């Protein structure tokens, strides 16, 4: 009996800490949504996050909207003859049973015409539109100006 209680407590603790940074609805889990503090309102910013597709079918991110910026576009950085370029993409694919990371030097949600400066510590919502799952709202945490916090994790990817 004691073992069962300990197990239940551990399960509860685990699920409550996960709930803090993972939004799981159906088969889609979105985590670690963050943005860099902006240095000027006229400069674009970007949102980075991880999307895990636990289902057996393809999912795709098709759009993003936030009140923080007039326009949010899906973008991808890629190397072109040794030069880092950025271009708009229609969708970001999340294959079955896998995680797609939006991170510096990769996919990102570009924010144009910020309505206010993003300051470290701020939190703002972004609405993500998926092909199958529909709309999901995620809270984005603003990190410091020089932050590159997914860099370490990205080496595992
Ligand atoms: Cu971009």
pLDDT (tens digit per residue) in 62-118: 999 999 999 999 999 988 888 889 999 999 999 999 999 999 999 999 999 999 999
Q: What is the pLDDT of residue 143?
A: 93
Cα of 89 from ligand 1 centre, angstroms: 10
Cα of 87 from ligand 1 centre, angstroms: 7
Give residue-wise pLDDT tens across range 15-28.
444 444 555 556 89
Cα of 128 from ligand 1 centre, angstroms: 16
Asked whether the whole model's pTM tops 0.85, one would answer: no
Q: What is the pLDDT of residue 146?
A: 74
Q: Where are the alpha helices (DSSP H) in 22-103?
A: none
The model's confidence at residue 156, banded by pLDDT at 50, 70 and 90, is: very low
β partners of residue 19: none
Cα of 8 from ligand 1 centre, angstroms: 44
- Residue bearing tokens 């996919």: 107
β-strands 28-36, 123-130: how paired? unpaired
Q: Where are the alpha helices (DSSP H) in the chain?
A: 2-21, 151-154
Cα of 55 from ligand 1 centre, angstroms: 28
Judged against a pLDDT cut of 90, whether residue 2 lies above it is answered with no
- Return phi, psi of residue 48, to 5°: -120, 145
Judged against a pLDDT cut of 80, whether residue 157 lies above it is answered with no
CATH no., domain 23-144: 2.60.40.1890
Cα of 77 from ligand 1 centre, angstroms: 7
- Which protein residues have a CB closer than 5 Å to ligand 1 (ion)? 75, 86, 110
Cα of 71 from ligand 1 centre, angstroms: 12
Cα of 72 from ligand 1 centre, angstroms: 9
What is the C-alpha separation between 124 and 45, in angstroms, rounded?
13
Give residue-wise pLDDT tens across range 114-143.
999 999 999 999 999 999 999 999 999 999
């Amino acid at each position: 009996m004691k073992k069962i209680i300990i197990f239940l407590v551990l399960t509860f603790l685990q699920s409550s800490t996960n709930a803090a940074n993972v939004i799981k609805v159906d088969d889609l889990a979105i985590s670690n949504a963050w943005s860099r503090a902006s240095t000027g309102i006229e400069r674009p910013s970007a949102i980075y996050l991880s999307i895990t597709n636990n289902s057996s079918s393809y999912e795709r991110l098709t759009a993003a909207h936030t009140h923080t910026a007039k326009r949010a576009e899906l973008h991808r950085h890629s190397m072109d003859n040794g030069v880092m370029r950025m271009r708009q993409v229609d969708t970001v694919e999340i294959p079955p049973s896998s995680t797609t990371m939006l991170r510096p030097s990769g996919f990102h949600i570009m924010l144009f015409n910020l309505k206010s400066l993003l300051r470290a510590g701020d939190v703002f919502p972004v609405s993500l539109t998926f092909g199958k799952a529909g709309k999901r709202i995620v809270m984005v945490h603003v990190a410091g100006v020089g932050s590159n916090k997914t860099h370490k994790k990205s080496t595992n990817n």
